[in-house]
């Protein structure tokens, strides 16, 4: 899976959640996921992370986004769509898939 | 044909887990179980995984296989548990670790993974196992009681965390039941414990089934974060 494919999954999961919640926000790689100006609250972030895992699993890619690496990174991989795309892409290609 | 509910039960090889598996198979549910070793029963609607409940990779793999095969998991019963009756001054660290591995970490791992599957259906039932030993602050069971106190608190917090997804989380706290778990406990110790219950008898499987099945009902969707201790014991 290349980076564009990963981005498509993440943008898809996020857009679907925002639509469901009636939140009108453009989703691109600069979209902020946590902190000030974030499009998601904490429960929204949890929901989207799990949905991304599920969508990847449907493509037979098993990645755990609740890994030590994800949770302990000094700079959170969940800070923006772009950062998350990079993190997930690295996870897949580093063979960290479960 | 898809049966009425898909139930995942940990620790189905013997004792209460085995009884619950047979009970739900009898009700026409699909049951998936696990334990370290194979089970001694067979049913077309039962499938078994041999694993250690605190082995994260095995748990993730099992839950994903179940979700893929059935498309959903309706009920999780975190039954797998181990006990060790011993004074804290005489309890080896290896025993402490084993008890927490099975009772606490196993419950946490299965809850995390199965809740991800339940989220998709926007409903689910999780039932955990605590014990009257926690409520009674039972001497000689400090590590076991502490591990089950962790399960009790985990139940209450996860109930809040998972409520937005339509998932309820409750616990049952059985009195001693004649299973392998207590076979090594001296009779006078069991009698002392029973004396502290409002209803002074050993528990039976049906007592536990009754509470578990209450939590599992569709109509129990407004019941969460609760622990029911059997025998008239309060926390």
- Return the residue of B nearest to A59 by Cα: B68
Q: Which residues contact B92 (CB under 8 A, 6 or more apart)?
A: none
- Asked whether the beta carbons of residue B64 and residue A50 sit closer than 8 angstroms, the reply is no
- Return the residue of B nearest to A61 by Cα: B64
B222 within some domain? yes
A24 within some domain? yes
State the average pLDDT over residues B90-112: 96
What is the pLDDT at residue B1? Answer: 54
B192 within some domain? yes
* A50 at interface of B, judged by CB pairs closer than 8 A: yes
pLDDT tens for B48-80 read: 999 999 999 999 999 999 999 999 999 999 999
As a whole number of angstroms, the distance between CA A4 and CA A1 comes to 8
| CB-based contacts of B213-219 (< 8 A; 24+ apart in sequence) | B213/B23, B215/B125, B215/B127, B215/B168, B215/B170, B215/B172, B216/B5, B216/B7, B216/B75, B216/B77, B216/B125, B216/B127
Q: Which residues contact B158 (CB under 8 A, 6 or more apart)?
A: B111, B115, B126, B169
B1 within some domain? no
Q: Please, which residues bridge with residue B75 across strands?
A: B7, B125
Contact map slice: B 119-148 vs A, CB within 8 A: 119-120
A9: containing domain:
3-93
pLDDT at residue A73 is higher than 80: no
As a whole number of angstroms, the distance between CA B142 and CA B191 comes to 18
Residue with tokens 């334990």: B35
- Asked whether the beta carbons of residue B64 and residue A57 sit closer than 8 angstroms, the reply is yes
- Asked whether the beta carbons of residue B64 and residue A54 sit closer than 8 angstroms, the reply is no
- For residue A50, give how far its alpha carbon lies from the nearest alpha carbon of chain B (Å): 6
B41 within some domain? yes
pLDDT at residue A71 is higher than 60: yes
- For residue A70, give how far its alpha carbon lies from the nearest alpha carbon of chain B (Å): 16
What is the pLDDT at residue A98? Answer: 46
pLDDT at residue A65 is higher than 90: no
State the average pLDDT over residues A71-78: 79
A98 within some domain? no
- CATH of residue B156's domain is 3.40.50.720
B168 within some domain? yes
State the average pLDDT over residues B10-17: 95
B21 within some domain? yes
* B209 at interface of A, judged by CB pairs closer than 8 A: no
Residue with tokens 């110790």: B189
- CATH of residue A7's domain is 1.10.1200.10
- Asked whether the beta carbons of residue A43 and residue B61 sit closer than 8 angstroms, the reply is no
Q: What is the percentage of chain A residues whose pLDDT exceeds 70?
A: 96
pLDDT tens for A13-61 read: 999 999 998 988 889 999 999 888 888 998 899 999 999 998 998 888 8
- For residue A62, give how far its alpha carbon lies from the nearest alpha carbon of chain B (Å): 9
B217: containing domain:
6-229
| Tally of domains in chain A | 1
| Tally of domains in chain B | 1
- Asked whether the beta carbons of residue A98 and residue B60 sit closer than 8 angstroms, the reply is yes
pLDDT at residue B177 is higher than 90: no
- For residue B66, give how far its alpha carbon lies from the nearest alpha carbon of chain A (Å): 13
- Asked whether the beta carbons of residue A50 and residue B57 sit closer than 8 angstroms, the reply is no
- Asked whether the beta carbons of residue A54 and residue B164 sit closer than 8 angstroms, the reply is no
Question: pLDDT tier at B181 (50, 70, 90 boundaries)?
Answer: low
- Asked whether the beta carbons of residue A64 and residue B60 sit closer than 8 angstroms, the reply is yes
Contact map slice: A 52-91 vs B, CB within 8 A: 53-54, 57, 62, 64, 66
* A98 at interface of B, judged by CB pairs closer than 8 A: yes
What is the pLDDT at residue A77? Answer: 87
- Asked whether the beta carbons of residue B61 and residue A53 sit closer than 8 angstroms, the reply is no
A9 within some domain? yes
């Amino acid at each position: 899976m290349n980076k564009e494919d990963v981005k498509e999954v993440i943008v898809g999961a996020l857009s679907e959640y925002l639509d469901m919640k009636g939140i009108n926000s453009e989703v691109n790689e600069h979209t902020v996921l946590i902190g000030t100006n974030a499009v998601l609250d904490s429960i929204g972030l949890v929901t989207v992370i799990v949905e991304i895992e599920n969508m990847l699993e449907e493509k037979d890619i098993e990645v755990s986004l609740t890994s030590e690496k994800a949770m302990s990174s000094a700079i959170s991989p969940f800070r923006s769509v772009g950062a998350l795309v990079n993190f997930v892409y690295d996870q897949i290609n580093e063979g960290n898939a479960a | 044909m898809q049966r009425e509910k898909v139930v995942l039960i940990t620790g189905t090889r013997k004792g209460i887990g085995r009884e619950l598996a047979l009970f739900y198979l009898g009700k026409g549910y699909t049951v998936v179980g696990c334990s370290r070793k194979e089970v001694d029963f067979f049913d077309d609607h039962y499938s078994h995984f041999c694993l250690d409940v605190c082995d994260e990779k095995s748990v993730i793999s099992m839950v994903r296989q179940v979700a893929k095969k059935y498309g959903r998991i309706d009920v999780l019963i975190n039954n797998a548990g181990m006990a060790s009756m011993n004074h804290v001054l005489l309890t080896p660290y290896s025993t402490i670790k084993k008890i927490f591995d099975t009772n606490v970490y196993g419950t946490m791992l299965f809850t995390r993974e199965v809740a991800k599957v339940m989220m998709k259906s926007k409903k689910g039932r999780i039932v955990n196992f605590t014990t009257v030993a926690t409520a009674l602050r039972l001497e000689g069971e400090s590590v076991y009681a502490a591990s089950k106190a962790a399960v009790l608190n985990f139940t209450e917090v996860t109930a809040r965390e998972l409520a937005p997804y339509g998932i309820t989380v409750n616990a049952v706290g059985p009195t001693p039941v004649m299973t392998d778990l207590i076979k090594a406990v001296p009779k006078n110790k069991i009698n002392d414990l029973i004396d502290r219950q409002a209803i002074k008898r050993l528990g039976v499987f049906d007592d536990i089934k009754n509470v578990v099945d209450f939590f599992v009902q569709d109509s129990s969707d407004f019941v969460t974060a609760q622990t029911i201790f059997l025998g008239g014991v309060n926390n």
